[in-house]
Chain A
Amino acid sequence: MIRAAIDTTALLKMVYSSLLASVVVAVVFSTALLGAIRASDMRRAGRGITATAYAVLAAVGVLIASGVIVYGLVLIARKS
């Protein structure tokens, strides 16, 4: 009876989407940070190509994290 009163689909949707979004954004942002810090270290060490590769990693990380956030907000706004 209790199970019948609960909309498990909505509940599960809340659980997996929030878990996925928070973990993905945290991991991607940390990776971007790793890229930015390593790029700065490599540039100082005179390793230009490696520095550029890390800088690209940082930029891609920031773009993906921002993209996930914007996509989530658009999805919520569109559904209501």
Chain B
Amino acid sequence: MSGDILLVIVVGTALAFDFTNGFHDTANVVATSISTRAIGPKQAVAFASLLNFIGAFISLKVATTIAKGFVDTSAVTTTVVFCGLVGAIAWNVITWYFGLPSSSSHALIGGLVGSVVAASGWSAVNGGGILDNLIVPAIIAPIIAFVAAGGSILLVYRIVGRLRPGPVSRGFRLGELASGGLLALSHGTNDAQKTMGVITLALIANGNISGSSFHVPDWVVVTSATAISLGTFTGGWRIIKTLGTRIISMDPAQGFAAQGAGAAVILAASSVGYPLSTTHVISGGIMGAGAAKRFSAVRWGVAGNIVTAWIMTLPAAALLGGMVYGVTTLFGNGVAGPIVVTIVLLAGLAATFARRLQHAQPAPTTP
């Protein structure tokens, strides 16, 4: 009975993480379209939310990687999954509060690894899996997006460079609706699956699913898709501003190239099961589109701050996941620890949101 209560708490926490993931990553999906005035902020967020939901149903390969690729499943208990999730949520909220576009995906994997290490030691961590499925793709994917967006924009300028700028901009704004839609779809495909993987891991740990016959139940797919979609709809204006205008000022052609490259990289990664960070990828695309036009157009200082946040995410979330595991097990191995931690987490979230709302900036509007 206490195992089932704990499972309910874990599923609720995983869906809350999924919500914060959508909330946190809204910027990645819509910032470019908004900053180039291809679409209004409210319409962009609603459009992205819908496509996030649809995207979650496209593939399940990333969910499999999350559930089986990073830690020894026999060392995972529902408490471990819970603590990893809380560590990831805490890191997401901290970076959201300070307006840093870190990676929700790396926060999730970092939190999970930290929690597993605290519970069973380093031997339960699949170092090769982390290197193969997380670190190498995390380094390579933004570089591909950078090169693809940069190469694309150079070719685009060669093709449309001698045309009247007005119709060209209008055309690329239209194109951005498609590339932005694809980016939202790819975000739903890659990111919603991370929550599906974590919930499935908890179901295996609780004995609801056999580890040998791995599959993601339909209700997990539907609830994860709904949570990320609602999170995206709620939005995160603070990070939208950082990504959309502070890295570079873009024209619609650059926005189209950046979004198209980002979507292509995320979809290609999803098809081979890599849990990528959409933040990393779209930032790489934006920088590539900017640097190809004029290297100095990219505000490299801001880009450097973003890279620092990326590098910090995995160890910081792991540390938080490990700390949460330590605190949770102070109350024993039952449900008391997770209940206390959930109450503290909810109180912390309420206080953070209240504080942010006090200093909130109004949502940007298109003229």
Number of residues from A at the complex interface, CB < 8 A: 35
CB distance from B276 to the nearest CB of A (A): 9
Write the residues of chain B forming the contact surface with A, with a CB cutoff of 8 angstroms.
Answer: 58-61, 127-128, 131-132, 136-137, 140-141, 144-145, 147-149, 151-153, 155-156, 159-160, 163-164, 167-168, 171-172, 175, 178, 182, 185, 189, 253, 256-257, 260-261, 263-265, 267-274
Write the residues of chain A forming the contact surface with B, with a CB cutoff of 8 angstroms.
Answer: 2, 5-7, 10-11, 13-15, 17-19, 21-23, 25-27, 29-31, 33-34, 36-38, 40, 69, 72-73, 75-77, 79-80
Q: Is the CB of A18 within 8 A of B265?
A: yes
Query: How many residue-residue contacts, CB under 8 A, span A and B?
Result: 130
CB pairs A–B below 8 angstroms (30 shown) = A5-B131, A6-B131, A6-B136, A10-B273, A11-B140, A14-B265, A14-B269, A15-B144, A18-B144, A18-B261, A18-B265, A21-B264, A23-B148, A25-B260, A26-B256, A27-B152, A27-B159, A29-B256, A30-B155, A30-B159, A33-B159, A34-B159, A34-B160, A37-B167, A37-B171, A73-B58, A76-B58, A76-B271, A80-B59, A80-B60
- In the bound assembly, the distance between CA atoms of A14 and B281 in angstroms comes to 13
CB distance from A54 to the nearest CB of B (A): 12
Which residues of B sit under 8 angstroms from A5, Cβ to Cβ?
127-128, 131-132
Q: Is the CB of A13 within 8 A of B272?
A: yes
CB distance from B309 to the nearest CB of A (A): 24
Tell me the nearest residue of chain A to B258, going by C-beta: A22
Which residues of B sit under 8 angstroms from A37, Cβ to Cβ?
160, 163-164, 167-168, 171
Asked whether A22 and B260 contact (CB < 8 A) given A30-B155, A37-B171, the answer is yes
Q: Is the CB of B59 within 8 A of A76?
A: yes
- In the bound assembly, the distance between CA atoms of A75 and B163 in angstroms comes to 35
Picked from B128, B149, B171, B267, the residue with its CB within 8 Å of the CB of A72 is B267
Q: Is the CB of B152 within 8 A of A23?
A: yes
Q: Is the CB of A29 within 8 A of B59?
A: no
- In the bound assembly, the distance between CA atoms of A7 and B178 in angstroms comes to 32
- In the bound assembly, the distance between CA atoms of A18 and B135 in angstroms comes to 18
Q: Is the CB of A11 within 8 A of B137?
A: yes
Which residues of A sit under 8 angstroms from B272, Cβ to Cβ?
10-11, 13-14
Asked whether A40 and B152 contact (CB < 8 A) given A14-B265, A18-B144, A80-B61, the answer is no
CB distance from A4 to the nearest CB of B (A): 8
Which residues of A sit under 8 angstroms from B273, Cβ to Cβ?
10
Which residues of A sit under 8 angstroms from B159, Cβ to Cβ?
27, 30-31, 33-34
CB distance from A42 to the nearest CB of B (A): 13
